[in-house]
Structure 1
Amino acid sequence: MSLRLRVFVSLPLIIASIPSSIHAQESMDKLWGDRVVKLRAENAQRGQLFDEGNYAMFIHWGLYSLLGNEVDGKTYYGIGEWIMNPRMAGIPVEKYKQLAGQFNPTNFDAKEIARIAKEAGMKYIVITAKHHDGFAMYDSKACDFNIVDATPWKKDPMKELAAACREAGLGFGFYYSHNQDWTFPGGNGGPTTDEEGNPATFDDYFLKKCVPQVNEITTEYGPIELVWFDTPGKMPKEYVQQLVDLVHKNQPRALVSGRAGHGLGDYQTLGDMEVPRENIEGMWESVDTTNDSWAYAWYDEYWKSPKEILHRLISCVGRGGTYMLNIGPKGDGSVPKRAEQTLAAAGEWIHRYPQVVYNTAASPWHHALPWGDVTRKDNTLFLCVFDWPKSGKLYLPNLKTKIASANLLSGGESVPVTWTAAGDWAVINLPPQAPEKLASVIQVNLESEPIVDPVWALDPGMDTEVLAEFAEVENAKKGRKRWMEKFGEWKAVVHAHAFEDGGHASWEIDVHQPGEYNVSLTYAGTGRLVWSVAIEGGEKIQNQQNSSHNYQTFPIGWMNFSKAGRYTVSAKCIDGDIASASLKAIHFEPMQ
């Protein structure tokens, strides 16, 4: 990404050290020279860690972590930081406040957390100073409901973590819930009267707690890279502006998240767990978590694998953005071991291939390719291959710039590979085995700036998924659909739906290798649905398949593309409960 501070409207053990990778890193430093970006917080410019580091750690840790989603012997399934809310356990304010007397996180180790982040390849840490529950995880003078005054631990972990980050060369920042506060009178969702029974207004909360606390976190913990506000709701614009101005006054180098509200943030923050499928202009971030819950939940052992972490990270960097990945420490302050393991394994890969992640630009294809994704540095492309082609041929469609050289990277080694050009397509010849288990990297040096036609193209060697997000619709609708699998665990899809008579979704498809392709659709709906897929001016197929609520993929049949070139392919629901039909993607698998 290039550093462009733009304003957007926000959208609602195991590996203690890696000595083998150190030697590989030294070799890579020699190989890549000044291409290896060594960003450290103390010499970074405003926003540089965000803009060029591209990878950060988010930490949700608070009083709620002590419960781990279990209250009075009952487990509540969903995001742990909302456990107090009526939509979860509905814990009364006074009962929740009493939990502070049991909060004694003696296993908290700030240096260990900084080590985990650094070995994961992350460039800064953002941690919850105060979440919606109103409990301050630092020594706040604005409210005695804080970790120093209200707990037996009597320590300020934020002082320790800020110091540990500085020592490790990492940036440091705070999450602060500026609108919601469920325990302070007048806060959104909080008590409507004070302790004396007098009516409390939002101004009471904002002036007595919110503004003083934002002032505290931006003046008492050294240099701050970022203040991450959240859930502005209906907070008046002038209030948000006051907070943003306060952050910029106290911390001129700091960025403010897009979720401050009213378009007043310094960059755009996408929805929770949202990884975009198409390039996004300007500065933006995706926020995600290592399992399903942001805060610690005792039952949640569904961890993202190292490969999935890398895939989502490179997808964000390849779309032009930053990826901030969350961990949820336990109530005792310790980091779940499996979260540490998976971050460390992904981090080993990043330390071997730093040039792929840091200070890189978006893919010129504007979307992922069937085998993986691409990041770019000037006239150099880094092809990150997650699915190694069995044919030994990796296809680069519609690349109009000539290739100067191509090399397969493996740790500190760089092995030249051959390629051929067929029209605008380049075909790179690869060995039968991938050199990396997680993702292999091919460096392609171009003769000039990459020029690519980003039209969707069918890979001759593997399944190509083309999302409805990229379709044109007629007599149908295209929009974003969000739902929760569990409370707070958001899923999202851009889908084609509301098919009327003659309604369809269509795509322009580039075919390099003519022949037979098996066509499948990923969709949801009710009962058995009949779908039709057609090539404009060519053959049409249709089939009935059962539907699902969670977007399964169903085969429709074979289609023939008789010659190389551009085609328009359309899909529509023609029978069954058409009103329920929701199309996510179309797939083309070459029949060898």
Structure 2
Amino acid sequence: MMPQLEELTTEYGDVFMVWFDTPVHMNDRHCEALMALIAKNQPGALVNSRLGNGYGHFDVSIDAGKRPNVCKADWLPDLKVPWQTHETVTKGGWGYTTYGSETDRSADYAELIGHVCNVVCYGGVFLLNVGPRPDGVIPPSQVSSLRAIGDWLTVNGESIYGADPSPLVFPPYAITSKPGKLYLHLREILNNQVSLQGILTGVTKAYCLADPAQTALDFSQDGAELAVTVPDAAIQLHVTVIVLELAAEQAQVADETLQQNADGSIELPAESCEFAVRRTSYDYDRKVTVRWGEHPLQGLLWTVNVSAPGEFCVISEDSGDERLEYELITRDDTLMLNALSGEVGVLSKKPQTGTIRIEQAGRQQIVVYPRVTARLNWSYNFKGLELVPVHEGGEVRRH
């Protein structure tokens, strides 16, 4: 590997990034030698964490990894360090294949552009892969995909380049920010209405980023609730970006802590969890985890305000995988759960065996961690848990 890396870092001009994958048989000595070689030949190059053993400058997700929450865990006081995810314009693989690299993806342009918006929204950066033919030529279908993304960025790049993530930790759709502005990215606008909850800072103007005249859109704001009317003529192909000008440099947001329901139940949806590690992904449309349960460090974390402590039964909602077992942990108790068998790929709710206690009221964290894992668990999706209070005498209140 060293001769190849020497060639790559000396024969191809300035290298922005050296991206490693699958660090099999790597030890500290190997990693240190590779890092030293890159630093000598390309002192400005970044190295990703898949070099292994804790080496590298930044962390990356699993392939095509996404997350349900904004993550700024690696930010430093004087440096915003993003996480990274990667996607490919090919179908069915990362390198060239006759069946996937020549495929027309025009039907997927909105999805590809949406990935760009979502990654920046949640605090990441986007690495887009191409699969050239054996002679180095990038097939026309891939060029068309790149041009579609580039054309959209030519008009809407202000909302992506140099933008910070959403001020809401759990935004309802892709939102990015700059001082004094929020950018709402909408793949679909129903009945010409866009709603947003959670922004407390006053909005002074709304307009479409694609409109050079910045024609003001009608909007109303009542506390943390905002509604914007978007005429048909302003709706863009693939993704429409609405700019909100704010009365302050930074947006103030409402408390996003999950609240216990009036009937005493506690809902723990996947769409409102944080990932303990980035080796998990998320489906924004179905609001479920992807490839969760493959590693014991893949914790899902919820912050909940408990108003009525007690004993709770547990109902899980997932697609079923009898191999997988995971542990639910509160401040006071633990309970082993399992991904009970069900039709693969079909979400269903299932009561779990046993109960779990929460003895104290107040804001607290509830987590689940895989304990018996399932390797390459592509078919399993987790949508969430519901904790249902148990009354005296063991009666479970259902609704």
Which band: TM-score by shorter chain?
A: 0.5 to 0.7
Matches within 5 A, 1:231-250: 231-250=22-41
Change (3 A) 1:344 1:471: closer
Distance apart, 1:242 and its partner CA: 1.6
- Give yes or no for contact 2:68–2:272 (8 Å, CA) kept in 1: no
**Contact 1:405/1:444 (8 A) holds in 2:** yes
List per-residue Cα deviations over 1:124-159 (Å, max 9, x = no partner).
xxxxxxxxxxxxxxxxxxxxxxxxxxxxxxxxxxxx
In structure 1, distance between residues paired with 2:238 and 2:198: 27
Deviation at 1:359, TM superposition (A): 0.6
> Counterparts of 2:28 and 2:271 in 1: how far apart (Å)?
32
Equivalent residues of 1:480, 1:492 under 8 A apart? no
Distance in 1 (CA, whole Å) between partners of 2:280 and 2:235 is 38
**Aligned residues between the structures:** 305
Instruction: Tell me by how many angstroms 1:334 deviates.
Output: 2.6
* 2:124 aligned to which of 307, 316, 321: 321
Match in the other structure for 1:251: 42
Matches within 5 A, 1:46-445: 210-281=1-72, 282-290=81-89, 291-300=91-100, 301=103, 303=105, 305-369=108-172, 372-390=173-191, 392-432=192-232, 435-445=235-245
Structure 1 Cα separation of the partners of residues 178 and 252 of structure 2:
14
SS in 2 for 1:415: coil
Contact 1:362 1:375 in 2 (8 A): yes
Gap change, CA 1:302 and 1:410, over 3 Å in 2: closer
CA distance in structure 1 between the partners assigned to 2:169 and 2:254 by the alignment? 9
1:398 to partner: Cα distance:
1.6
Conserved in 2, the CA contact under 8 Å of 1:329 and 1:335?
A: yes
After TM superposition, give the deviation of residue 317 of structure 1 in Å.
Answer: 0.7
> Judging changes above 3 Å, is the alpha-carbon distance between structure 1 residues 480 and 239 closer, same or farther for their aligned structure 2 residues?
closer
Q: Give me the whole-angstrom Cα distance separating, in 1, the residues matched to 2:2 and 2:157.
A: 39
The residue matched to 2:120 in structure 1 has which SS?
A: helix
Aligned to 1:549: 344
Distance in 1 of aligned mates of 2:136 and 2:380: 46
Aligned to 2:290: 492
Conserved? CA contact 2:68–2:270, under 8 Å: no
> Given residue 318 of structure 2, which amino acid in structure 1 is its aligned partner?
Y
What CA distance in whole angstroms lies between the structure 1 residues aligned with 2:321 and 2:61? 30
Name the CA distance, whole Å, in 1 between partners of 2:6 and 2:240. Answer: 46
**Structure label with greater radius of gyration:** 1
Residues 310 and 367 of structure 1, relative CA distance in 2, 3 Å threshold: farther
Q: Which amino acid aligns with 2:9?
A: T
Task: State the Cα distance separating 1:263 from its structure 2 match.
Answer: 1.9
CA distance in 1, matches of 2:251, 2:17: 33
Structure 1 runs (4+) deviating above 4 angstroms are: 478-483, 505-509, 553-556
Q: Which amino acid aligns with 1:523?
A: D
Report the equivalent of 2:272.
470
Query: Counterpart amino acid of 1:285?
Result: Q
Distance 1:467 1:228, change over 3 A: same
CA contact (8 A) 1:419 1:429 kept: yes
* Aligned-residue RMSD, C-alpha: 4.2
In 1, Cα distance between equivalents of 2:37 and 2:177: 36
- The separation in 2 between residues aligned to 1:310 and 1:451, in whole angstroms, is 28
In the alignment, the residues of structure 2 paired with residue 507 and residue 336 of structure 1 have an alpha-carbon distance, to the nearest angstrom, of 47
Q: Which amino acid aligns with 1:213?
A: Q
More helix, by proportion: 1
Instruction: State the shift of 1:524 in Å.
Output: 0.4
CA-CA distance at 1:433 after TM superposition: 5.9
- Given the superposition, is the C-alpha separation of residues 339 and 581 from structure 1 closer, same or farther in structure 2, using an over 3 Å criterion? closer
Change (3 A) 1:275 1:481: closer
What is the aligned counterpart of 1:524 among 319, 330, 336? 319
The corresponding residue for 1:453 is 254
Cα 1:469–1:442 change in 2 (3 A) is closer
CA distance 1:308–1:456, change in 2 (3 Å): farther
The change in CA–CA distance for 1:355 and 1:253 in structure 2 (over 3 A counts) is same
CA distance in 1, matches of 2:215, 2:197: 23
Equivalent residue number for residue 13 of structure 1: none
Residues in 1 aligned to 2:234 and 2:384: alpha-carbon distance in whole angstroms = 28
Look up the SS of the partner of 2:20 in the other structure.
strand
- Judged with a 3 Å threshold, the aligned counterparts in structure 2 of structure 1 residues 221 and 343 are, in CA distance, closer, same or farther, namely closer
Give the direction of change, closer, same or farther, for the CA distance of 1:417–1:481 in structure 2 (3 Å limit).
same
CA contact (8 A) 2:318 2:349 kept: no
Task: Report how far residue 393 of structure 1 moved.
Answer: 3.0
Q: Is the contact between residue 211 and residue 234 of structure 2 (CA under 8 Å) also seen in structure 1?
A: no
Deviation of 1:346 after TM superposition, in Å, equals: 2.2
- Conservation of the 8 A alpha-carbon contact between 1:480 and 1:493: no
Hey, what's the Cα distance between the residues in 2 that align with 1:506 and 1:252? 40
> Deviations 1:104-129 (Å, cap 9, x if unpaired)?
xxxxxxxxxxxxxxxxxxxxxxxxxx
Q: Is residue 109–residue 145 contact of structure 2 (8 Å, CA) maintained in 1? A: yes
The TM-score normalised by the length of structure 1 is: 0.45
Structure 2 residue identity aligned to 1:306: Y
Contact 2:317 2:382 in 1 (8 A): yes
Shift of 1:507: 8.3
8 Å Cα contact 2:206-2:242 kept in structure 1: yes
CA positional deviation for 1:227: 1.2
- CA drift at 1:430: 2.5
Q: Distance in 1 between matches of 2:252 and 2:45?
A: 35
C-alpha separation in 2, matches of 1:379 and 1:289:
33
Shift of 1:341: 1.7
